[in-house]
Each structure stands twice: as C-alpha cells, then as structure tokens.
Structure 1
Amino acid sequence: MAIGLHDSDFKNPVVRWIDQRMPIFTMMQKEYGSFPTPRNFNYFWNFGALAMVNLMIMIATGIFLAMHYTPHTAHAFDSVERIMRDVNFGWLIRYVHMNGASMFFIVVFIHIWRGMYYGSYKAPRELLWILGVVIFLLMMATAFMGYVLPWGQMSFWGATVITNLFSAFPFVGDWIVSLLWGGFSVDNPTLNRFFSLHYLLPFVIVGVVFLHVVALHITGSNNPLGIEPKGPKDTLPFHPYYTAKDSFGLVIYFIVFAALVFFAPNYLGHADNYIPADPLVTPAHIVPEWYFLPFYAILRAVPDKLGGVLLMFGSIAVLFVLPWLDSSPVRSMRFRPMARIALFLWTISFFVLMYCGAMPAEEPYVTISRIATAYYFAYFLVILPLLGRLEKPLPLPESIARAVLGGGGPLPAGAAAKPMEKA
C-alpha cells in the first residue's frame, strides 16, 4: 500500500482504486451499511428516507422547469401554460413538482409528529431536532416563493397578503416589505427575487439535511421504546434490514404519489391560480396552500395584526425550545399515557386549525380557531412542562432486545426498570 492511500477492503478493482484515494465507499459502508441501528424501528422511521427522496425529486424536476420558465410578470403565466402544453412531458414534470411539494409536507409533518410522540427531541438529540425545524422553516419559505411563480390570481394575492404581514413589525416592518417587493408593490422585481430564492433554497436545504444526518449518526437513532441500545443484541446493521424496510415504504409512497399526479393532480391546488394575476381584481377568498393553513388560521385568530404575526411565527419558534419544555425523563409516549392523550388532542387542534384556515374569516370559524390556537400553545408551554413533573410513567423495559423478543406481551419478572429511570 503506497503512502497516503486508504486501506480499502472492496473487491471490485475500480471501486477499490477510487476508495483508496477518496474513501467515500468506506464511509458509505460505515454509515449506511454496517451502521448499528435499534432493532425495533417501526414504519414511522421510513419517513426520514422518504423526505430525502422527495427532496431529490423536487430539485430534479425544479431544474427542468427552470429551463422553460420566464420570471417576468408579462410572461410567467404564459410560460407555465407553455410548459403544460408544448414542452415534451412538461405537464408531467410540473404535476410531479407541484404535487411533490404537498407530498413533501405530508412526509415531513408525519416525521415531526413521530419525533414528538417518541421523544426524539430529548437529550442527546436536541441539535438534531433543531436542525430538523430549520429544514422545516426553509421548506416553508421555498414553498411560499414557489407558489408565487405561476403568477395566477392566488399567487399574486397570496404574495401580497403574506409579504404585507412584515409591515406589522415596528420601525423595520416597512423596510422589510420594500426589500421583499423590490419596489412599492408586488411586481416584476418581486417575482425575480422569489424565483432566484426558490431555485437557491433547495440547495441550502440539502446542506442542512447533511448536517441533520451527521447529527443523527453522532447521537444514533431514537426508537419506539425511547431507551438507548445497551449492547449488540439491541441493534441491527442498517443494511440489509432497514434498506429493505425503507424500500417497501418507498414503493407505497410512489403508489400514492402516482395516484395523486395521474388521477387528481389539481386536487390540492386552487382553481383561481389558473386565472392570470390581476392587481385590480381581488379574489373572494384568499387562501394559501393547504400546508400553510394551520398557521394562517393562527394569524387570523388574533384581532391585532402584530399579535397575529407574532403568534404565527411563534407557532414554529416554540418547536425550537421543545427539548427544554418537556421536562419528563422518559422519552416515548408509549409509557406516558397522559402525555399521549395531550398529544392526540394537540394533533386534533392542528387539523382543526387547518380546516378553519381554509374557511372565511367569520364566525364560528374565528372562535374555533382561537380555541384551537389556545390549546396549540398550551400544549407546549403549560401541559408538557407540568406533565413532566406530575405524570407517573409506566415501567420501562430493561432493553430493546428483551422487549422485542418478549413478543410484545408482559415481560418476565425483573425486566422492568424503575418508572422514572432516565431514558
């Protein structure tokens, strides 16, 4: 072995030659082949891999769409129609990209909920969770800017309403709005800025995803029991066990994705966005895309503009401090019956907000939104901190292997740890 070359174990001469000089295959084998993972993953753990696949689909289709899109207010709408009608398979690429955004948010919402249910935000994985919330914020910014690009009625008025929200901030609000607009209203400079950022931000997301994966591989994965692996019996190599499991989940995901693209491509969109943008005609009901509806309902639930904006941003910001709000030493809500009920009620409140966000800003939807908003924040700021001190968790199993090999029934005597043992 020459000095400076990596000692590669691969048999294939080409792979070995590359790996000796740049050991990427050794790294992949270590991180995605022999990497020890808890043996009790369920299918909720598929959604991280699905999110990565979805991100690659969005970037690939976005690059092809950018080749034919014209970021100008006089031509943007027509260029999208040309993609749909004249570009070879342009309709398919656009529908995949458009519905891919919805699929991305569905996958990430489930991924976040899994983290909340199984306590994946608790020590030592706080930074892993924070990076995940950063990815979520970048996704929201990217999706909002992408929704503006077709330059239909809902694109234009959605951009006008959302960018105007920043004017609520004292002193700097008007300056921020002018910076976003690039002028005195939503116009061509705004569209150019949004197109540039919409193209750029997915690559920023890739960078944060890389950090997210690095943090995951440093601390290791959480698992449905919320207890750390205590030896080789508690883990399995990632390949072939979880590559096979992720592949099955990927097949199901593609079936759902294909059904949406080929049979209901406009189901999650808004009909008004097939009308060219007209600054002189305001739509009867301005609504954002469905994945923004819960936060839009929180915004409208507060009669004060600044208060509504602060609560809307606060609904995301509270996720950053969730690891420190939940004071329970037990991770998984399998062993926290009261916290499990509270989380299910929070989930209901989230869907109620989503429904109310799609409805007009009138009664009874405003009152319902206020009740759901109150519970949304109470769950994080009041219920979780109190339950961490008051709730008595169920006994934890002594190891992952014992719980798995026990067949899910009652564990043998001595197999349970103390109820409040730190997970």
Structure 2
Amino acid sequence: MAAGPHDQHELSDPDSDVRHMHDSKVQNPVLRWIDQRMPVISMIQLEYGSFPTPRNFNYFWNFGALAMVTLVIMIATGVVLSMQYAANTHLAFDSVERIMRDVNYGWLLRYAHANGASMFFIVVYIHMWRSLYYGSYKSPRELLWMLGVVLFILMMATAFMGYVLPWGQMSFWGATVITNLFSALPVVGEHIVTWLWGGFSVDNPTLNRFFSLHFLLPFVIVGVTFLHVVALHITGSNNPLGIEPKTKKDTIPFHPYYTIKDSFGIVVYLVVFAILVFFMPNYLGHPDNYIPANPLVTPAHIVPEWYFLPFYAILRAVPNKLGGVVLMGGALLILFVLPWLDSSPVRSMRFRPIAKWLFLVWTVNFGVLMWVGGKPAEQPYILIAQICTAYYFAYFLVILPFLAKFERPLPLPESIARAVLTRKGGGPLPAGATAKPMEKA
C-alpha cells in the first residue's frame, strides 16, 4: 500500500523521528535518554522485573542463576590467568607454578578457576536433575532442553581442554587417552586425531590448539546461554507441579520475589565455593597433576576429572573400543530425543508414582557409574559398570516409553494457586467448598 502525502511528509520530516522513540518509564534523566534510544533497561525490567513466573518455585530453580554466576566467575578468572600462562610444552607447567607463587593473588585466581569448573558441573548436574524430575524437557520446552544439552556438551569440551593446560602427568595422559578414542571411528578417525594433535603425538601444537579453544568456547557458551534464556522466556518456566499457569493468581512478578530468593541462594553458594577454594583447594583434583608431564612414564591409573567419570565408566564397560565410544556418545545424544521418548502427558514425577521411583533408581545408578569410573578397569568394577550402563539406556529407551502408555498418574491440581493455598496439595475440592490455608508444619 503506497504512502499518502501526509505519510510521506512524516517520513521525510527529520523531527518526526522523535515520535518513534521508545516511551521509557525510567526516572533518571540520563538513563531515560539512553533507554529511549536503546531500550535495554526497559527490556530488563520486562524480562526480569515484571516477568510473570509460577508462584510455587522451590530452591531447585535457583541453580540456573547459580550456573550463570559461575560462568561469569570462570570467564573473569580465565581471562586474567591467560595473561600469565605460556602455551608451550616447555613452559606451561612452570608458568602455572609461577602463577601460584609469584603473581599477586595468582593462587586465588588459579584455585577459583580450577574449583570453579567442579562447582559449575555440580550446579549444572543438579539443574539437569531438576529438569528430569519435574519434566521440564516436555512440550513446549523441547528446544529449551536441547539447548541445555548443547551447553552441557560445550562445558565438557571446555573443561577437558582446560584440564590439559597445566601440563601435568594427568593432563598429558588424559589428553592422550581421550583424543585417541576418535581413532576408533571408521575412515575419518585417524584424520580427526591427527588434526586434534596437530601432528603425530600430543605435543606443543596440541597444547596451543587446546589453549585457543579453551579460551574461545566459554564465549560460545555465553551465546548459547543467551538463546537458552530467550527460549525460556518465550515458553515460560516449568514449575514443581508441572502444570501451566491459568490465571494471574498462579504467577508472581520475578522481581522482587525470585530476585531475593536467587540472591539468598547465590550467597549460600559463594560461601560453599569459598570454603572449597580456601580450605580444600586440591580436594577435587588429582595429585599426579602436580608432576610435570612425562611421555616416558605412564601413571598407574589414568582417570579424568570426577565430572567425566560416569561417561568414562560407560566407555570402559564395553571391551570393544568402537563400541565404547559409540555408547559414551550415545549416553549424551540420547538426551536430545528425551522429549519424544517420554510421551506421558504428565510432567512432574510428583504425580507419577512408578516413574518417580525408577527415576530415583536411575539417579543412584548414575552415582554408581561415577564411582566405578574412578576405579581400575578390572573386576568387579567392569561388571558393575556394564549393569549400570544397561540400566542407563534402558531407562530412556524402554522404561519411559513403556510407562508413558501404561502408568496411571495421580490427579493433577486444578491450578497452581489452588495447590499453594489448599491443605492437601491442591487436589480438586468438593463443589461449593472453599480453599483453606495450609496448616503450619
């Protein structure tokens, strides 16, 4: 449709641009001037201030914010550490020792970064456990879940490359063992290993490549995290009941209710983080990594960091190298299709009595895999790993699809508000009855 004379006048009039500026409600005149031209403040207020969220979040919903705080800590400490680190096989180990001994507060930066990796995985594992238990991967949040799995894989890649950088014994031999796994792939495997190494063994080109990728990938994680948050704000958050908000009574503004709750969680988290850094800085590390890398001396027991151990156990559960690699990769890739494997219309395990207990068995099973992954590759640990690996895959491929068809869930609450306000958790009330406040425990 062509513009009329009046419209053409408005488009050509330079003063008419003012009419199209954002109507900002910010009180500060300087910030309002900025917000009118680039409404970042209004967007934050909309998405993190007045954004409606279910009123029944528990503290498991804090761990998304804790993950973002940890990511900021890791990037900040990593950037400063990179200024003092030397990515050279002859200098790397000594440069880390120099950071620890001679750089002002270098010990604090190094310990915060090294333990931050462990804290990051603890937070993300709990975050993923919550999503599995409360069904946050189900429609309409499939893409949100899949982006979360992408973030988890990127974290694993970043952490593995970072573990190589100190160039201790476990760094060198861990890199040798893990990169060699790609050689099991037919046709392209040897080429991938050569590309990763930058030659024909783990050496200086390997360290340079890993350092560059370790520096780059956290910023890729930031980008995917942005998409993850966008997907969250499009679909809205799940909640412990697994039902969608129906009225305004079911929701509350994100601020101040959940900003206060998240702030409390962050303070508690930072206290735990500080205890680990100041009193147990090497508790989650391996003592062999304080020995300089030596290609001529193989450690008695090569193990990755603790957060890789469940998948390392799955890898070793199969005698065939290719089979182990396929199973280990499948243990991650199966998470992408989880929303379609579990077709039950009920999200939360609270209302799925059989699925809840089988999921708790899966949780224990995952912990056993973590324990077995740190043990020698011998009996009875191999047998235990094989049994746990079988249950890991059976849970996703057999149990969940079966239960989706045959399990009879408990009655769902009528609404989130009713569940919060009624005495017995929100079940349907008799006709004409009024909601009674919950009794104090």
The answer to whether structure 1 residue 413 and structure 2 residue 435 are counterparts is no
1:266 equivalent in alignment to 2:282: yes
Which runs of 5 or more residues in structure 1 are unaligned?
A: 416-423
Taking the aligned partners of 1:122 and 1:295, their CA distance within structure 2 comes to: 24
Q: Establish whether residue 329 from structure 1 lines up as the match of residue 335 from structure 2.
A: no
Letter of the structure 2 residue corresponding to residue 372 of structure 1: C
Report matched runs for 1:31-42 at 5 Å: 31-42=47-58
Residue in structure 2 matched with residue 84 of structure 1 by the alignment = 100
Displacement, 1:408? 4.2
The code of the aligned residue for 1:352 comes to V
Q: Which amino acid aligns with 1:292?
A: F
Aligned residues: 415
Higher mean alpha-carbon deviation, 3-12 vs 397-406, is at 3-12
Deviation at 1:368, TM superposition (A): 0.3
- How far apart, in 1, do the equivalents of 2:288 and 2:244 lie? 51
| Distance in 2, Cα, partners of 1:12 & 1:336 | 51
Q: 1:149 aligns with which of 149, 161, 165?
A: 165
Q: Tell me, what secondary structure is at the counterpart of 1:37?
A: strand
CA–CA distance in structure 2, aligned partners of residues 131 and 222 of structure 1: 16
Q: How far has the Cα of 1:4 moved from its partner? A: 3.5
* C-alpha spacing 1:408/1:43, structure 2 compared with 1 (3 Å): farther
**Partner secondary structure for residue 3 of structure 1:** helix
TM-score (norm 1): 0.97
CA RMSD after TM alignment? 1.0
> Residue 46 of structure 1 corresponds to which residue in structure 2?
62
Per-residue CA deviation, residues 65-96 of structure 1 (Å, 9 max, x unaligned), is 00000000000000000000000000000000
> 1:169-190: per-residue Cα shift (whole Å, max 9, x none)?
0100000000000000000000
Residue pair 2:418, 2:426 contacting (<8 A) in 1 also: no
Q: CA deviation at 1:140?
A: 0.1
Asked whether the 8 Å contact 2:312–2:328 carries over to 1, the reply is yes
Is 1:20 the counterpart of 2:4 in the alignment? no
Which amino acid is 1:296 matched to?
Answer: Y
Corresponding residue for residue 122 of structure 1: 138
Match of residue 386 from structure 1: 402
Q: Distance in 1 between matches of 2:316 and 2:116?
A: 28
Q: Which amino acid in the other structure matches residue 305 of structure 1?
A: K
The 1:410–1:24 alpha-carbon spacing in structure 2 relative to 1, beyond 3 Å, is closer
Residue 320 of structure 1 aligns to a residue whose secondary structure is coil
Q: C-alpha separation between the residues in 1 aligned to 2:128 and 2:244?
A: 20
Structure 1 match to 2:241: 225
Q: State which drifts further: 404-413 or 378-387.
A: 404-413
Deviation at 1:5, TM superposition (A): 1.8
Q: Deviations over 1:89-124 (max 9, x none)?
A: 000000000000000000000000000000000000
CA contact 2:314–2:389 (8 Å) conserved in 1 = yes
- Deviation digits for residues 193-224 of structure 1, max 9, x if unmatched? 00000000000000000000000000000000
* 1:244-279 deviation digits (Å, cap 9, x = unpaired): 000111011011101100110000000000000000
Q: Measure how far apart 1:45 and its partner are.
A: 0.2
Partner SS, residue 360 of structure 1? coil
Equivalent residues in 2 for 1:231-270 (5 A)?
Answer: 231-270=247-286
Counterpart Cα distance in 2 of 1:14 and 1:297: 57
Larger Rg: 2
Cα drift, residue 158 of structure 1: 0.1
Distance 1:344-1:34 versus aligned 2 partners, 3 A rule: same
Residue 46 of structure 1: how far off its partner (Å): 0.2
Q: Aligned partners of 2:431 and 2:86: how far apart in 1? A: 68
Deviation at 1:14, TM superposition (A): 1.3
2:181 to 150, 159, 165: 165
Identity of aligned residues (%): 76
How far is the alpha carbon of 1:410 from its aligned partner?
Answer: 6.4
Whole-Å separation in 1 of the counterparts to 2:126 and 2:255: 24
Alignment of 1:4-403 (within 5 A): 4-403=20-419
Show the counterpart of 2:6. Answer: none
Task: From the superposition, tell whether residues 380 and 12 of structure 1 become closer, same or farther in structure 2 (CA, over 3 Å).
Answer: same
Q: How far apart are residue 407 of structure 1 and its match?
A: 4.0
CA distance in 2, matches of 1:337, 1:414: 27
Q: Within 1, Cα distance between the matches of 2:430 and 2:99?
A: 66
Q: Mark the CA change 1:92 to 1:251 in structure 2 (over 3 Å): closer, same or farther.
A: same
- 1:393 is aligned with what amino acid? P
Matched AA of 2:344: S
Q: Which residue of 2 aligns with 1:418?
A: none
- Say if 1:181 and 1:219 are closer, same or farther in 2 by CA, change over 3 A: same
Change (3 A) 1:86 1:408: farther
- Give, in whole Å, the separation in 1 of the partners of 2:336 and 2:414: 31
Structure-2 separation of matches of 1:150 and 1:372: 33
